[in-house]
Amino acid sequence: MDQDIDRVLVHERRIRDRVAELGARISRDYEGKDVTVVALLKGGVVFLSDLIRSISVPMHLDFAWASSYGDGTTSSGNVALRVMPDTSLRGRHVLLVDDILDTGRTLARVSAELRDRFGAAEVKTCVLLDKAARREVDVRADYVGFEVENVFVVGYGLDFADRYRNLPYIGVLKPHLYAN
């Protein structure tokens, strides 16, 4: 798999340090609050597993699964909600965790669903990567690991056609692998 990577954008050690910083900040911000962490499947799972071990306040955990990419490299523009939390979020403080914020469509749609349909009192967002150059919807994450340039990234949960998620770093995929 490493031979498919053009360059490493964020090394494993840097990810680990930043995730610990995010966990500490989230813990301070949620002190004394009843928080539910909702992770977006599948890409957010690797980030989630490290992040929640860095959070020191009591929390509940649930999952959502939204998709707009399929096996492609660009969003279809349609966000399909496949799975949503199965616990009550009414009146709760929710932290929505995802791997990457690019167009903003998925984060905006799921955040709105958690507030409007599930009754969350508050929805904050945490993303490992923010790719602002691709933003189509006016949405900002409350907690951001790294801002990245407009390149196709994989690793640490991020994928191309469901591959490369298990790389311990964030890498730029060689363009000839996804050009078609």
- Residue scoring higher pLDDT (2 or 104): 104
Quick check: helix, strand or coil at residue 37? strand
12-41 pLDDT per residue, tens: 999 999 999 999 999 999 999 989 999 999
The answer to the question of residue 101 being in a domain is: yes
pLDDT band, very low/low/confident/very high, at 180 (cuts 50, 70, 90): low
Task: Quote the pTM value.
Answer: 0.90
Please tell me which residue in 99, 102, 130, 159 is annotated as part of the active site. Answer: 102
Evaluate whether residue 177 is within a structural domain. no
As for how many domains the chain has, the answer is 1
CATH number of domain containing 127:
3.40.50.2020
DSSP type of residue 88: -
Is 1 part of any domain?
no
Q: What is the pLDDT of residue 147?
A: 97
Section 142-171 average pLDDT: 95
CB under 8 A, 24+ apart: contacts of 83-88: 83/41, 84/113, 84/117, 84/118, 85/36, 85/38, 85/114, 85/118, 86/62, 87/36, 87/60, 87/62, 88/118, 88/119
| pLDDT recorded at residue 74 | 55
**Is residue 102 annotated as a catalytic residue, yes or no?**
yes
Per the structure, the complete domain to which residue 32 belongs is given by 12-151
- For 102-141, how does the pLDDT look when each residue is reduced to its tens digit (9 = 90+)? 999 999 999 999 999 999 999 999 999 999 999 999 999 9
- Tens digit of each residue's pLDDT (9 = 90 or more) over 27-83: 999 999 989 999 999 889 999 999 999 999 999 999 988 876 555 555 556 767 767
Torsion of CA 103, 169, 26, 111, to 10 degrees: 20
Of 172, 100, 170, the C-alpha closest to 141 is 100
**Beta carbons within 10 angstroms of residue 7's beta carbon:** 8
Question: Which candidate, 98, 124, 104, places its Cα nearest to that of 25?
Answer: 124
For 154-167, the pLDDT digits (tens) are 999 999 988 999 99
